[in-house]
Amino acid sequence: MRFFGKFIKKNYDPKTDSDVLFSLSSAYLTLESKMGLKNSGRCALSLKSISGMYFNEMKDDIKRFLDISKTDFELTYRTVTDSYGYLWIVLEGKRMEDLLAGISAVGDTVDEKGFSNQLLAAIFEFTNDRNKKQYLIYNYKRNSFYPFVPVDGGQKTRNTEEEIKMMATIGDEVPLEKDMTLWYPLWDLPL
Amino acid sequence: MVTVRSLIQLSSISRTPSWQRRDNGLTIRMILSFAILALLFVVFLSVLAYVGLGIIPITIIASLMVLAQWYFSDKIVLWMSRAKVVTRDQFPKLHDIVERIVARNNLPKPKIAVIDTNMPNAFATGKSKKSSIVAVTTGLMDTLDDPEELESVIAHELTHIRNRDAVVLTLVSLLPTVAWYLVQFGFYGGLYGGMGYGRDRNNGGVMIIVIVVAVLVFVISFLIVRAISRYREFSADRGAAQMTGKPVKLANALMKISGSMRRVPTKDLRQVEGLNAFFIIPAISGSTIGNLFSTHPPTEKRVQKLMEMEASMS
């Protein structure tokens, strides 16, 4: 049955599953207590930009929403378009709950406007005790998380050992991408 | 018949294309030697049976052959793998690492051997805890730049020795052969024993049944042996993790050695997204069937179990 389950799931239009996203609301505490990884207060959502009125409308909706909810969520935001043509909505806030609520709400807006296929990933930033950055990437298409720890120095290499540790630490709290060949990195994050 | 417990399956490395430029000599040599030994054994016994020897003399001869192999097993293994036992002066660091683990875990120090090949692997063999050998390849020492990873690999081999896996698996691997002969003799004995003469009688149907049953028994017991072998690997991983206290180091070492480390992509997600990489329905891969036949569990499974250990430890 599991095999058929997989088979069917992959053919359907993937939906953003906020339950999976919100599993991070407790897992981030585990990362902090067991690995000393602190939530840096930054996260981002990335989606493929397309030209057209509807897409711009959606962008405005997101901005309007984030402006209004500034007081409720204690979030600040900025948008960046990167060299790949992806739109990044970068959120900053002190509390993980607010970040998750913000990301989830933005994701829902994208979904409502019919652009869920454009959704790439949500990225959560953590810093270790030596102030190095480590990331958890949520892939919308796979509805699961995977770790990404770039090594400093522009060499585009990653620290797989730390990644495995992160995965081991929160493996039973959040759905993780089991297939490591799909742990695609996101270099030069505009966070 | 002689069993060595290598770190990762010897044949699995050659399947990875990125390793093909590496020296596969060890793999080929070991597999060929094992195959030839096993074949000789079977052919010899078959000839004896054909010549008309009874079940008792054949059993005695077979046992003698097994015993001889058993007695010379470490020499045979060293000869086949071209591993050289090395002294402390030649490889001081390696000796240090081994001594530290055996001292911490109250184990006798095994002989240490080195194989000069680029292919990263390690194995343990030996009849008893005291006469055991741990061999590592020079490729392994080059690949694992972190001493703690090398330590984990050696701990894995030491666990095989502690669990007496070479002994257990040598005995267990006789099972298919024994089963094969029991079935054959059982049928011959039962069918022809009472009739006086046998082989000249033309009785194709019965022969076919005998062969089918013998093959079935052989295959089933072979699969059981492989399953036991895979289970012992998991145990050795667990034991190694307990010895070092750092499961993630062994996981890392396994990934480096098997080439999985290279399979963790470095290509940007935004680059592959357009290729719809995530919508490709995975075909039922040959590996699902292949796993039944392999002596070692897939690296991913081993890494996953080690990560679960790491999680429960921290």
Tell me the per-residue pLDDT of B84-134, one tens digit each, with 9 for 90 and over: 999 999 999 999 999 999 999 888 999 999 998 888 889 888 777 778 899
Cβ contacts (< 8 Å) between A160 and chain B: which residues? 252, 255, 261, 264
A86 part of contact set with chain B, CB < 8 Å:
yes
For residue B275, what are the contacts with CB-CB under 8 A and spacing of at least 6? none
Inspect the interface and report whether the beta carbons of A137 and B269 lie closer than 8 Å.
yes
Q: Give B138 or B31, the one with higher predicted confidence.
A: B138
Picking from B265, B303, B304, the nearest residue to A183 by CB comes out as: B265
Which one-letter amino acid corresponds to residue A37?
L
**How many interchain CB pairs under 8 A, A with B?**
87
Looking at A3-12, B26-35, B164-173, which range is the least confident one?
Answer: A3-12
Inspect the interface and report whether the beta carbons of B248 and A84 lie closer than 8 Å.
no
Give domain status of residue B39, yes or no: yes
Inspect the interface and report whether the beta carbons of B278 and A139 lie closer than 8 Å.
yes
Residue B146 has pLDDT above 70, yes or no: yes
Inspect the interface and report whether the beta carbons of B269 and A167 lie closer than 8 Å.
no
* Distance between B312 CA and the closest CA of chain A, angstroms: 8
Give domain status of residue B12, yes or no: no
Residue B158 has pLDDT above 80, yes or no: yes
Cβ-in-10-Å burial (0-12, 13-18, 19+) of B202 comes to exposed
| Rounded mean pLDDT, B209-236 | 85
| Rounded mean pLDDT, A79-93 | 92
pLDDT of residue B12: 46
Cβ contacts (< 8 Å) between A184 and chain B: which residues? 265, 267-269, 272, 277
Q: Do residues B195 and B203 touch, judged by C-beta distance below 8 A?
A: no
Inspect the interface and report whether the beta carbons of B268 and A86 lie closer than 8 Å.
no
Residue B278 has pLDDT above 50, yes or no: no
Three-class secondary structure of residue B106 per DSSP: coil
Residue A181's DSSP bridge partners are none
Kindly report the pTM of this predicted structure: 0.68
pLDDT of residue A53: 87
Cβ contacts (< 8 Å) between B278 and chain A: which residues? 139, 141-142, 182
| Rounded mean pLDDT, B189-213 | 62
How many Å separate Cα B241 from the centre of its chain?
A: 20
Cβ contacts (< 8 Å) between A11 and chain B: which residues? 281
pLDDT of residue A60: 92
φ/ψ of B81, rounded to 5, equals -90, -10
Please give the full DSSP string across A148-186, using - where no structure is assigned: E-BPSSSS--B-HHHHHHHHHHHTTTS-B---GGG----
- Whole-angstrom CA distances from B281 to A38, A41, A165, B263 are 37, 36, 29, 19
pLDDT band (50, 70, 90) for residue B312:
confident
Q: Give B97 or B15, the one with higher predicted confidence.
A: B97
Residue of B nearest to A6 (CA): B281
Give domain status of residue B1, yes or no: no
Number of domains in chain B: 1
Q: Which of B22, B4, B3 is nearest to B13 (CA)?
A: B22
Give domain status of residue B135, yes or no: yes
Domain span holding position B292: 23-312
Q: Which two tokens stand for residue A34?
A: 């067991």
pLDDT of residue B270: 82
pLDDT band (50, 70, 90) for residue B277:
very low
pLDDT of residue B1: 45
Give domain status of residue B56, yes or no: yes
| Rounded mean pLDDT, B13-23 | 40
Inspect the interface and report whether the beta carbons of B268 and A187 lie closer than 8 Å.
yes
Q: Give A90 or B59, the one with higher predicted confidence.
A: A90
* Chain A interface mutation, best of B264, B280, B310, B313, highest count of A Cβ atoms under 10 Å: B264
For residue B169, what are the contacts with CB-CB under 8 A and spacing of at least 6? B3, B5, B225, B228, B229, B232
Residue B22 has pLDDT above 50, yes or no: no
- Whole-angstrom CA distances from B71 to B1, B76, B125, B169 are 12, 10, 12, 15
A180 part of contact set with chain B, CB < 8 Å:
yes
| Averaged pLDDT of chain B | 77
pLDDT band (50, 70, 90) for residue B16:
very low
Residue of A nearest to B305 (CA): A168
pLDDT band (50, 70, 90) for residue B262:
low
| Strands of the A133-139 sheet, one edge to the other | A76-81, A86-92, A38-48, A119-127, A133-139, A144-148
pLDDT tens column, A104-129 = 999 988 988 888 888 899 999 999 98
| Rounded mean pLDDT, B254-275 | 76
CA–CA dist B290, B46 (Å, integer) = 29
- Contacts of the segment B21-26: beta carbons below 8 A, 24+ positions apart: B22/B118, B22/B119, B22/B139, B23/B117, B23/B118, B23/B119, B23/B139, B24/B119, B25/B117, B25/B119, B26/B81, B26/B82, B26/B115, B26/B117, B26/B119, B26/B121, B26/B137
Inspect the interface and report whether the beta carbons of A171 and B252 lie closer than 8 Å.
no
Q: Which residues of B are catalytic?
A: 157
pLDDT band (50, 70, 90) for residue A173:
confident
Picking from B266, B279, B311, the nearest residue to A169 by CB comes out as: B311
pLDDT of residue A2: 44
For residue B61, what are the contacts with CB-CB under 8 A and spacing of at least 6? B45, B48, B53
Picking from B264, B273, B308, the nearest residue to A183 by CB comes out as: B264
Residue of B nearest to A161 (CA): B252
pLDDT of residue A157: 86
pLDDT tens column, B59-79 = 888 788 778 877 887 787 788
Q: Give A2 or B127, the one with higher predicted confidence.
A: B127
Residue B227 has pLDDT above 70, yes or no: yes
Picking from A171, A182, A187, the nearest residue to B308 by CB comes out as: A171
Q: Do residues A116 and A16 touch, judged by C-beta distance below 8 A?
A: yes
